[in-house]
Structure 1
Amino acid sequence: MGAFLDDLTTQMYNIIWALPLTILALGTGLYFSLRMKFPQIRLFKDMVHYLLGRDRKREDRTSKEGMSSFQAFALALGGRVGVGNIAGVATAICFGGPGAVFWMWVIAFIGAGTAFSESALAQVYKTRIDGEYKGGPAYYIERGMGGNKVAKVFAVVFALAAILANGITGPTIQAFNFADAAHNAFNLNPWIGGALMAACVAVVAFGGAKRLGRVSELVVPVMAIIYIILALVILGINFKQIPSMFGLIFSSAFKMNSVYGAIWGSTVMWGVKRGIYSNEAGYGSGAHAAASAEVSHPAKQGLAQSFSVYVDTLFVCTATAIMILSTGMYNVINEKTETVITEGVPGMAAGVGFTQKAIDSVFPGVGSVFIAIAVFFFAFTTLLSFVLYTDVNISYILKNKGEGIRKVMTNVFRSVIVVIVLIGATRSSDAAWNTADIGIGIMCWINFTALIILSTKAVKLLKDYERQKHLGLDPVFEPADCGIKNADLWTDIVKEKYADLLAKKHDVEGKRKKEA
């Protein structure tokens, strides 16, 4: 039965994650980047501005309904920065060669445009359910596409896929990788490792979205900074390898390297695939956290969330790549022929072992311990994000039911996640990995398609934001200005919390009309 499930899920995975999805991901990111004139470059200052909470007197003031802009950013980044940043990068290098790192950079750069669009749309079409802001792809697919039957079907399918990937199969993978790393480093029994992780998740998860946000804003930045600093230290020690390392990345990326030329197709595929898997731009997960933020204009959170893609791939994933490539601690295998092209770590399979060996080569005996600790925090914050994403999609599925039913089912799934973490720490299977990837793949196909359909609305949001900035205003959102319907909650939000900004906006616009 196990072999049958492995084969079945592998076939489904290969169909969903074939070349068309790679083209769709690259095409969508490039489309948004071109249509919005590369906001990831033009508005970089704004991205950092909202990320650091320069509007903290107003924007980062949490309310009973939502969390601060930075908390939402940290929660989304916690979901992005996970085991995939360590094991995923190693796998991409193993099967795609060093050039895969370049294509991870590419999908991060153009994916920032996609991340802006999905996060801004999540803000537009968020709703207030059981006293909290909730939103994400399922919400903007239904409401943004007019609420017709087709839109509702796609929204439900997305929500179910998200619950599968984030609430059932995903936690198994995160827990197993931590337990395995802890066993290698400390000889810790996997059941004990699983129990430790499950207990930490339970304490935070049952505190609701606001506690998830508070913990994430404390843990995620520290976690990412320490990891990046270690990578820079290793790069500094191996500074003589810098020219050859980057030369290898670029020559392999453009099929100019004779050693890796035969696997160039895999180079692009693995770079894009692991890039999407890591930074999550386009499959909608970060949009769930974005919808919870308390901001005066959807574009503000869209810009903040765009920066999280940079942090994840250009900083954290690059840190892993630097450690592996500068030390030569990696293997490269031709998937089709199963021949070994490069063997820097004889006999070692792709995964966290590459990174452990890389650190050990510079700091003997440190690699296993450091990676075990890093994987714990990476997995922990990812699991917190999984809890939120699952909560949001359960609320969508049960939006027409009573508050009592929603709370019961939300707590049931939180309990399920905790149990899965405990059990999943002791075992892993190809079926679990494949099923998680299948769920994510379904999310990608639906969300990328929806984003293209709703692209005009996303572009109008950015134009409205920039128009108000040009007038010297602190942008505030009025749906009618962008021709957007089904965003009634914003009327209440602006009236309750941003009446002063709205009055100033109307005053300035009125004066401009008279002058014209």
Structure 2
Amino acid sequence: MLEIVNFLNKYIWSNALVFLFLAVGLIFTLRTKFIQVRRFKDMITLLFEKNNDNAGISSFQALAMSLGSRIGTGNIVGVATAISLGGPGAVFWMWVMGFLGAATSFIEITLSQIFKSKIDGEYRGGTPFYIYKGLNLKWFSIISATILIIVIGILWPTVQANTIALTVQDSFNIPPLATGLLLAAFMAIIIYGGVKRIATVSEYLVPFMALAYVAICIALLVLNFSEIPAMLSLIVTSALNLNATFAGLLGTAIAMGVQRGVFSSAAGLGTETFESGASSVSHPAKQGLVQAFSIYIDTFVICTATALMILITGMYNVVPSAGEAIVTNFPGADPELYTQAAISTLISPTFGQYFMSISLFLFCFTTLITYFYKMDTNIAFIKEMLNMDKAGKYITHVARIGLLGMVVFGAVNSATLIWAITDLGVGLLGWVNVITILLLSKTALTALKDYDTQKSLGLNPSFNPIILGIKNADFWEDLEARSPIPKTVSSKGRTVVAKKVKERLLPVPNPFSE
């Protein structure tokens, strides 16, 4: 099976996809006029906007759910794997992907908000919704939802469960099967409570686990502060092929940095659009900005802290997939153990072992419960498209049981196979979603210009798709019909905005036209 998966990965994860992610991130960075920099202040302030809508969740809850999904094994094992295959230079390309990916994330999240729906009393949005409403391709939206269910509900849970099982076995000598069954039981308690329970768990658990991990990382880095400049220099010189030790690894460093960077941040995959579609905001661009900020937390804080600890302690090997070992500082060790060994070296073996076991358990567990929500949203979409009432209930239950079963499967299988399957899923989602958001980028950029216009007038931005000429944004059209003049915008203000939109919103170029 491993040979088949690796064969497929050669084509799906070709250089074309690697450079597609980079190119799209650059296009959106330029088109949005560096949104990830010029609206950074808004990213922070919007986190604390209150939500009084019972049908949706707050921006902060959506961010917490998204970070719960993003902050997982990709930030620890993914970083270590990138270094082991591409050398320290892979970290630099993770940074590049993170910066460009923030603009990509803004576009896809804004689209998710524009084309969201209200299903069974809850807000739902995501990739299939904007494919269906934005591109008017019902058949393709159903295919997209099906792929997402397979990837998120079957493929991805395995790698999180596998990481937890291996770490717990190494630290506490608990059999992987027992860990898998216990994980499945914990998950069942939470996921059968619905999106509100998932959001509540994420809201409290994610900030705690992220701050605890970063606090330990910072403490360790402070103790070795003098080594940080040298490590940063090593990362940059290796990335630009200026370091003799890692000469010849440029292509691998770029590929691994982008691949693991995308898996960690999920920018461009469309998998983080579902939590954001559930949030209640007055303008789609607001949630786009909040989620762009999550890329910074994921890549520049968590991933960087992990990478610096590994590099400062030297607890890593560099062994390209096709070639002889370049660095063997940690002979025979798998990347799963690099971070644990780094912490053990700096403090104590016992602390490092237990701390990483607890951290990975929390990181991966929150990721697993958000996977359920994403899968459930795609199932709800398919049920809505195909008018499946009675049968839909059975499909939902079968899918939930299937996801719990894959958690157990991932816990007891080999890490090599699990990571190969995960990479396959990432690649499949990348091709589908990146092309889609390129085709729909004009809509998201129009919404951004509307947001900028209202901010320049001193208004709290609210969204009216009719004024902007955006079609099929039925949720917002219905909202506007129920409340023609939002509380945050006066009648005079709405008239001014409409006039300014017509005057200042020039046609947005299509990325394919140049």
Deviation at 1:253, TM superposition (A): 0.9
> Counterpart amino acid of 1:378?
F
Once residues 142 and 189 of structure 2 are traced to their aligned partners in structure 1, the CA distance between those partners, rounded to angstroms, is 30
**1:21-32 counterparts in 2 under 5 A?**
21-32=17-28
Q: Which amino acid aligns with 2:69?
A: G
Distance in 1, matches of 2:462 and 2:343, equals 48
User: What is the CA distance between 1:109 and its match in structure 2?
Assistant: 0.5
What corresponds to 1:450 in structure 2? 436
Q: Is the aligned partner of 1:169 residue 2:155?
A: yes
Where does residue 203 of structure 1 map in the other structure? 189
Specify which of 23, 27, 40 is matched with residue 36 of structure 2. Answer: 40
Give the direction of change, closer, same or farther, for the CA distance of 1:342–1:185 in structure 2 (3 Å limit): same
Question: Secondary structure of 1:476's match?
Answer: coil
> Which residue of structure 1 aligns with residue 102 of structure 2?
112
SS of structure 2 residue aligned to 1:27:
helix
Q: Which residue of 2 aligns with 1:71?
A: 61
SS of match in other structure, 1:475: coil
Partner of 2:293: 307
Match of 2:312 among 326, 330, 341: 326
In structure 1, what residue type is equivalent to 2:343?
Answer: I
Distance in 2 of aligned mates of 1:137 and 1:449: 11
Q: Distance in 2 between matches of 1:295 and 1:219?
A: 23
**Cα distance in 2, alignment partners of residues 327 and 476 from structure 1:** 50
Q: 2:399 aligns with which of 397, 400, 413?
A: 413
Whether 2:227 is the aligned partner of 1:236: answer: no
Say if 2:93 and 2:239, in contact at 8 Å, map to a contact too: yes
Distance 2:61 2:480 in 1: 21
Q: 1:61 pairs with 52, 57, 67, which one?
A: 52
Task: Find the partner of 1:50 among 18, 43, 46.
Answer: 46
How many equivalent residue pairs?
A: 499
Shift of 1:416: 1.6
Q: CA deviation at 1:67?
A: 1.2
* Structure-2 change in CA distance of 1:510 and 1:112 (3 Å): same
Q: Would you say 1:9 and 2:5 are equivalent positions?
A: yes
- Quote the Cα distance in structure 2 between the aligned partners of 1:169 and 1:31: 30
Partner of 2:245: 259
Q: Counterpart of 1:128 in 2: which secondary structure? A: strand
**TM value normalised by structure 1:** 0.93
Other-structure match for 1:290: 276
Match of 1:134 among 121, 124, 139: 124
Q: Which amino acid aligns with 1:144?
A: G
Counterpart of 2:134? 144
Tell me the distance in 1 between the aligned counterparts of 2:382 and 2:426. Answer: 18
Alpha-carbon deviation of 1:430? Answer: 4.2
By how many angstroms is 1:497 displaced? Answer: 7.2
More displaced 10-residue stretch of structure 1: 303-312 or 196-205: 196-205
Q: Provide Cα deviations, 1:444-499, integer angstroms capped at 9, x if missing partner.
A: 11110011111111111110011111111111110112221111111233455795
Partner in structure 2 of residue 385 of structure 1: 370
> Structure 2 vs 1, CA of residues 357 and 503 (structure 1 numbering), >3 Å: closer, same or farther?
closer
Displacement after TM superposition at 1:31 (Å): 0.3
- Displacement, 1:431? 4.2
Unaligned runs of at least 5 residues, structure 2: 504-514
Asked if residue 342 in structure 1 is aligned to residue 327 in structure 2, the reply is yes
- 1:401 matched to 2:393? The reply is no
C-alpha distance in structure 1 between counterparts of 2:485 and 2:65, whole Å: 28
Q: CA shift at 1:363, angstroms?
A: 1.3
AA at the equivalent of 2:29: S
CA contact (8 A) 2:85 2:319 kept: yes
Task: Report if the CA contact (8 A) 1:329-1:358 is conserved.
Answer: yes
Percent sequence identity over aligned pairs: 41
CA contact (8 A) 2:166 2:176 kept: yes
Tell me which amino acid in the other structure corresponds to 1:50: L
Task: List runs of 5+ in structure 1 lacking aligned partners.
Answer: none
Q: What is the CA–CA distance in structure 2 between the aligned matches of 1:258 and 1:158, rounded to whole Å?
A: 44
Q: Distance in 2 between matches of 1:243 and 1:514?
A: 52
Residue 465 of structure 2 corresponds to residue 479 of structure 1: yes
Contact 2:85–2:320 (CA under 8 A) maintained in structure 1: yes
Secondary structure in 2 matching 1:501: coil
2:503 corresponds to 1:507: no
Q: Distance in 2 between matches of 1:508 and 1:158?
A: 40
